[in-house]
Copies of this chain bind each other. A is one copy, B any other.
Amino acid sequence: MRYELYYWPTIQGRGEFIRLALEDAGADYVDVARRPRGMAAMMHLMQSAALRHAPFAPPFLRAGERVIAQTASILLYLGPRLGLAPRSEAGRLWVHQLQLTIADWLLEAHDAHHPIGGGLYYEQQKREARRRAAQFRKERLPKFMGYFEDVLDRTGGERIHYAHLSLFQMIAGLRYAFPRAMRRLEARYPLLVELHARVAARPRLAKYLASRRRIAFNRQGIFRHYPELDG
* A94: B residues at CB distance < 8 A: 53
Compute how far the CA of A134 lies from the CA of B25 in the bound complex, rounded to whole angstroms. Answer: 44
Is B116 in contact with A135, judged by CB distance below 8 angstroms?
Answer: yes
Q: How large is the interface on A (under 10, 10 to 19, 20 to 34, 35 or more residues)?
A: 35 or more
**Chain-B contact segment, one of A29-37, A65-73, A207-215:** A65-73
Is B97 in contact with A117, judged by CB distance below 8 angstroms?
Answer: no
Summarize A's interface: helix, strand, loop or mixed.
helix
- Report if A115 contacts B (CB, 8 A): yes
Write the chain B residue with the least CB distance to A154: B52
Is B97 in contact with A53, judged by CB distance below 8 angstroms?
Answer: yes
Is B56 in contact with A101, judged by CB distance below 8 angstroms?
Answer: yes
**Chain A 111-140 residues near chain B, CB threshold 8 A:** 111, 115-117, 119-120, 125, 128, 131-132, 135-136, 139-140
* A164: B residues at CB distance < 8 A: none
